[in-house]
Amino acid sequence: MTSGKTKVVMDGNITPWEDATIHVASTGAKYGANVFEGICCYYGDRQYLFRLREHLERLHESMDLMRLPQQYSDEEFEYSIWQVLKANSIEGDAHIRLSIIVRGEGLYDVSGPLVLVCTATPRSAGPLAGGTVNIGISSWRRIDDAAMPPRIKAGANYHNGRFALMDAKRHGYDEALLLNSRGLVSESTNSCFMMVRRGALVTPPASAGILDSITRDTFLKIAGEELGLPVEVREIDRAETAIAAEAFLCNSFQEVRPIRSIDGIKLKQTAPGPITNRLWSAYEDIARGRKSKYREWLAYSRDSAQ
């Protein structure tokens, strides 16, 4: 999305794509000092922002941990989102990125001034839009809380994912699964890992070096409440992943990517497996406002134009 017509919202100003820039000398550009969220907008009977509250909560947490001043309110964040959708005439599904970038100059400990940037990309996601994947266990380890906390969404954390993804592709895989510093399963380069093992949905705990994922939380709730599945949040050994019945990667943007094989070992069920399909279809119903029980997860614009 680089057309001359695309608009970006920067600190509340609708800005042409070409003019949405920060200086090369900024701490954001030089050292990757930024935090962000990727949020999906789903069209049901109107546009819904899925789990906006939780995304904004995590954004504030990322800012706290990065010691950035909390100068933006939730109302400003939400307003920027509706503003960017409207400015780009997006009326259907979209992926939104809200970023806070240090545009101040200096060393890597500079914390301001900040700029709030919001972009929106239309998406035509069908079910399981991310496709199925063959993944490999990375020889790179997931960053550790003792050095660079993975549970927040800071741009610089993605250098770890960059190493692992480039290496995975070099070895012919679609994606990487990283182990943490203790040698236990952590997560993928941009997604959490979930598997079905002996009828239960299993995923590593937040302390395994993962981003505190909102999609993971959604699937854990759906599995228990909608499918009546046992849910296990526990440590996972590397070897256990390849003997799972089903497994998938999940994140807000690609939602579900069913895994076909791990380290070249085919999983028992052809991807997507039956439980993955049921989880996904409940997810989509909820995100498009078709299940009233989960309406509190959906934000919509009060503006009648939306």
Name the residues that contact ligand PMP, by CB under 6 A: 38, 161, 187, 190-192, 210-211, 213-216, 251-252
Q: Which is nearer to ligand PMP, 104 or 223 (CB)?
A: 223
Q: Which is nearer to ligand PMP, 6 or 215 (CB)?
A: 215
187 contacts 204 by C-beta, under 8 angstroms: yes
What is the arrangement of strands in the sheet containing 94-102, beginning at the earlier edge strand? 13-16, 7-10, 114-122, 94-102, 34-43, 47-50, 298-299
Q: Which is nearer to ligand PMP, 5 or 182 (CB)?
A: 182
The CA-atom distances, in angstroms, between 225 and each of 49, 204, 221, 255, 294 are 22, 19, 6, 19, 11
Whole-number minimum distance, CB 212 to ligand PMP, in Å?
Answer: 7
Whole-number minimum distance, CB 206 to ligand PMP, in Å?
Answer: 11
Q: How far apart are CA 77 and CA 188, in angstroms?
A: 28
Specify the 3-state DSSP secondary structure of 91.
coil
Q: How far apart are CA 298 and CA 306, in angstroms?
A: 14
Q: Which two tokens stand for residue 184?
A: 């236990």
Q: Which is nearer to ligand PMP, 103 or 279 (CB)?
A: 279
Whole-number minimum distance, CB 179 to ligand PMP, in Å?
Answer: 14
Whole-number minimum distance, CB 82 to ligand PMP, in Å?
Answer: 20
Q: Which is nearer to ligand PMP, 113 or 155 (CB)?
A: 155
Whole-number minimum distance, CB 194 to ligand PMP, in Å?
Answer: 11
Whole-number minimum distance, CB 291 to ligand PMP, in Å?
Answer: 19
241 contacts 232 by C-beta, under 8 angstroms: no
Which positions ≥6 away from 167 have C-beta within 8 Å? Answer: 138, 139, 140, 176
Whole-number minimum distance, CB 38 to ligand PMP, in Å?
Answer: 5
Q: Which is nearer to ligand PMP, 103 or 208 (CB)?
A: 208
Specify the 3-state DSSP secondary structure of 57.
helix
Q: How far apart are CA 62 and CA 36, in angstroms?
A: 8
Q: Which is nearer to ligand PMP, 52 or 214 (CB)?
A: 214
Residue nearest ligand PMP, CB atom distance: 215
Q: Which two tokens stand for residue 192?
A: 């959490």
